[in-house]
Amino acid sequence: MTVENAFNNKYSLVKGAARRARQLQSGASPLIVAKSMKACRVAQDEIKQGQVKFVLPERLAEPVLDVPAH
């Protein structure tokens, strides 16, 4: 499920930019021609230009509990 305006608050924006910056530092190609070489700034610019999509996973029908075995 894709959310149109998922970066509508500062927390979501920071989390999204941090995740994208880690992808860039791991070798992902930038989606834009950026002025900066810093991964964090490039990620922010990509989000601002609408190049990064925010995808939410489907919700589970039943909660999954992690119960340790006896």
pLDDT of 37 > 70? The answer is yes
Q: Which tens digits make up the pLDDT trace of 24-36?
A: 999 999 999 989 9
Q: Which residues of 12-30 are buried (b: 16+ CB within 10 A; e: fewer)?
A: ebeebbeebbeebeeeeeb
Give how far Cα 36 sits from Cα of 43, 50, 62, Å: 10, 17, 45
pLDDT of 46 > 70? The answer is yes
pLDDT score at 63:
53
pLDDT of 1 > 50? The answer is no
